[in-house]
Amino acid sequence: MSDIKKVVLAYSGGLDTSVIVRWLQETYQCEVVTFTADIGQGEEVEPARAKAAGLGVKEIYVDDLREEFVRDYVFPMFRANTIYEGEYLLGTSIARPLIAKRLIEIANETGADAISHGATGKGNDQVRFELGAYALKPGIKVIAPWREWDLTSREKLMSYCEQHSIPVDFSNKKKKSPYSMDANLLHISYEGGNLEDPWWEPEEDMWRWSVAPEAAPDQPTYIELTYEKGDIVAIDDQPMSPATVLAHLNKLGGANGIGRLDLVENRYVGMKSRGCYETPGGTIMLRAHRAIESLTLDREVAHLKDALMPKYAEMVYNGYWWSPERKLLQGMIDDSQQVVNGKVRVKLYKGNVTVAGRQSEDSLFDEKIATFEDDAGAYDQKDAEGFIKLNALRLRIAANKNRQLG
């Protein structure tokens, strides 16, 4: 008899997690609580409630977490200008700590002994979910069916459904994407299928959120983004909530062919993986945020942020959102954003985001000093001679010792 009496499952309502519900009930002889998160995946989440009820689930959570997701996870990450391996905007990665947090909250509310998820033993998500869970509730038991069962293919999962009378709607089978997809307000990802060949170019009808750049409008779209402490609070002077900001930018960016990415990345578990991503709103946000920072941040602060960003990105990608080191970095990043206020004007045109203007009352740009015209003595050019000689001192000493470089 299992000592697990109740399990909280991260439940999507799809094939895998529907099988997991029944598998948990039978393997562990336990009660299952389902949790479905609406983080802007663009699909109706309420049907998951009926599906869970049909599987005998008594406690069913369907939570709208869109505002919390953008406010407390996406925005803090973008304050750091976060990119993993030079390209990936971490759309999947940043959603996992929120889901892990809510799983633990529900486990505490319902008195559950364990949590469960549908991540496979090959991917990063198992690490992200479980690192988050253990950070928030050290003694929690985690059940990862993909690491325990022998249902290793879609055919076996479907057969299990037939044997255990699990209702699965296959009426749209022909319309189903051949790819494994994950979506939220920040992005949509595509993996598997033909994409497992890195030489394969994705077909145009794979993409869901964006038009091809060559099919985008021939006229550019201009927008103005208002920043307060590093976060966008209004678009074209219209105040918006965090989730509304991102949804609006996704729409504008997608219509202009912005945000497509084809990437081979290094997973934390050790293998390389090829995936395609659409992040239209995030692509705009990154470019615009760097623009407002270029105007308002001290040079050394900006450079320090840039130097630390790859480490921050690794923390998010690898699942260490709840770690003390990420929190420490976040405190420094957030403190730097106190002066990141003002407006950025960007031009969206055929897959490109171009900064067209920026302004801020906290600007460190001094036209009197930077001008190529007469600066009326604001900058004494003779000072540069001593500056250069002092910085060349070590180079001259080394050269006198015949330590040639290169």
Distance CA 224, CA 230 (A): 15
Best CA proximity match to 289, nearest among 210, 226, 211? 226
Residue 284 lies in a domain: yes
Residue 167 sits in the same domain as residue 205: no
Q: What's residue 172's pLDDT? A: 45
Residue 44 sits in the same domain as residue 152: yes
Final residue of a domain: which of 134, 149, 175?
175
Residue 48 sits in the same domain as residue 136: yes
Question: Where on the phi/psi map is residue 404: left (φ > 0), alpha (ψ -120 to 50), or beta?
Answer: beta
Read off the tokens for 173: 């089978």
Residue 163 sits in the same domain as residue 184: no
Q: What's residue 1's pLDDT? A: 52
Contacts of 216 by beta carbon, 8 Å cutoff, 6+ apart? 255, 256, 257, 349, 350, 351
Residue 12 sits in the same domain as residue 159: yes
Q: What's residue 250's pLDDT? A: 98
Residue 92 burial by Cβ neighbours in a 10 Å radius (0-12, 13-18, 19+): buried
Residue 14 sits in the same domain as residue 103: yes
Give the rounded distance of the alpha carbon of 308 from its chain centre: 18
Active site annotation includes 366: no
Per-residue confidence in pLDDT tens, the chain, 406 aa: 579 999 999 999 888 999 999 999 999 999 999 999 999 998 889 899 999 999 999 999 999 999 999 999 999 999 999 999 999 999 999 999 999 999 999 999 999 999 999 999 999 999 999 999 999 999 999 999 999 999 988 889 999 999 998 887 654 444 567 888 999 999 999 999 999 999 999 999 999 999 999 999 999 999 999 999 999 999 999 999 999 999 999 999 999 999 999 999 999 999 999 999 999 999 999 999 999 999 999 999 999 999 999 999 999 999 999 999 999 999 999 999 999 999 999 999 999 999 999 999 999 998 888 888 888 888 889 999 999 999 999 999 999 988 876 6
Residue 167 sits in the same domain as residue 184: no
Residue 204 lies in a domain: yes
CB distance 59 to 33 below 8 Å: yes
Residue 214 sits in the same domain as residue 348: yes
Phi and psi dihedrals of 369, rounded to 5? Answer: -90, -40
Residue 187 sits in the same domain as residue 204: yes
Q: Domain span at residue 280?
A: 180-297+340-359
Active site annotation includes 375: no
Active site annotation includes 96: yes
Final residue of a domain: which of 157, 175, 193?
175
Active site annotation includes 16: yes
Which one from 72, 180, 262, 290 is the annotated catalytic residue? 180
Which one from 96, 102, 128, 326 is the annotated catalytic residue? 96
Residue 146 sits in the same domain as residue 198: no
Q: What's residue 272's pLDDT? A: 96
Q: Which residues pair with 34 in a beta bridge?
A: 9, 60
Residue 15 lies in a domain: yes
Which one from 16, 63, 362, 375 is the annotated catalytic residue? 16
CB distance 50 to 77 below 8 Å: no
Helices of type H across 147-296: 154-163, 242-255, 280-296
Residue 212 lies in a domain: yes
Q: What letter would DSSP give residue 292?
A: H
Residue 257 lies in a domain: yes
Final residue of a domain: which of 147, 175, 203?
175
Residue 124 sits in the same domain as residue 270: no
Q: What's residue 167's pLDDT? A: 80
Residue 95 sits in the same domain as residue 243: no
Whether this model's pTM surpasses 0.85? yes
Residue 322 lies in a domain: no
Q: What's residue 168's pLDDT? A: 72
Distance CA 49, CA 67 (A): 21
Q: What's residue 191's pLDDT? A: 94
Q: What's residue 406's pLDDT? A: 64
Can you give the CATH number for the domain in which 246 is found? 3.90.1260.10
Residue 283 lies in a domain: yes
Can you give the CATH number for the domain in which 149 is found? 3.40.50.620
Q: What's residue 198's pLDDT? A: 97
Q: How many domains does the chain have?
A: 3
Which one from 38, 113, 125, 231 is the annotated catalytic residue? 125
Residue 314 lies in a domain: no
